[in-house]
Amino acid sequence: MNLINSPILGAKVSLHFFTPKPKAIIKNPHNNSHITMMLKKRVNSDESNKLTTTTTEFDDSLESSTTTTTTTKPCLCGRRHFIEATATTLTAATQSATATNSDSEYTALVNKFHPPKPDWYQKFFAWVLNSFTKSYEAEVARYKSQIFSILKEKKANKILEIGIGTGPNLNYYASDSNVQVVGIDPNPEMEKYARSSATSAGFPLSNFEFIHAVGEVIPLSDASVDAVVGTLVLCSVKDVDLTLKEVMRVLRPGGVYVFVEHVAAKDGTFLRFLQGVLDPLQQTIADGCHLSRETGESIAKAGFSSVELDMAILSNATFVNPHVYGIAKK
Please report the DSSP string for 19-81 in residue order.
-----EEEE-TTSS-EEEE-S------BTTB---B----SSS-------PPPPPPPP----HH
Give the Cα separation of 279 and 308 in Å (integer): 28
pLDDT of residue 105: 83
- β-strands 225-231, 251-262: how paired? parallel
Amino acid at 28: N
Instruction: Choose the CATH number for 24-329 among 3.30.70.20, 3.40.50.10140, 3.40.50.150, 3.40.190.10.
Output: 3.40.50.150
Of 64, 99, 65, which is closest to residue 80 (Cα–Cα)? 99
Terminal CA-to-CA distance of the chain, rounded, Å?
Answer: 24
pLDDT of residue 276: 95
Interval 203-230: pLDDT, tens:
999 999 999 999 999 999 999 999 999 9
CA dihedral for 120, 124, 125, 126, sign (positive or negative): positive
- Rounded to an integer, the average pLDDT of 190-197 is 97
Interval 267-283: pLDDT, tens:
999 999 999 999 999 99
pLDDT band at 1 (very low <50, low <70, confident <90, very high): low
Q: Residue 328 to residues 92, 94, 259: CA-CA distances in angstroms? A: 25, 22, 8
pLDDT of residue 19: 38
Higher-confidence residue: 99 or 276? 276
Average model confidence (pLDDT) for the chain? 77
Q: How many CB atoms are closer than 10 A to CB 209?
A: 19
Residue 173 has pLDDT above 80, yes or no: yes
Give residue limits of the domains in the chain: 24-329
pLDDT band at 11 (very low <50, low <70, confident <90, very high): very low
Q: How many CB atoms are closer than 10 A to CB 200?
A: 12
pTM: predicted TM-score of the whole model, two decimal places: 0.71
- Check residue 278 and report its DSSP letter: H
Interval 130-168: pLDDT, tens:
999 999 999 999 999 999 999 999 999 999 999 999 999
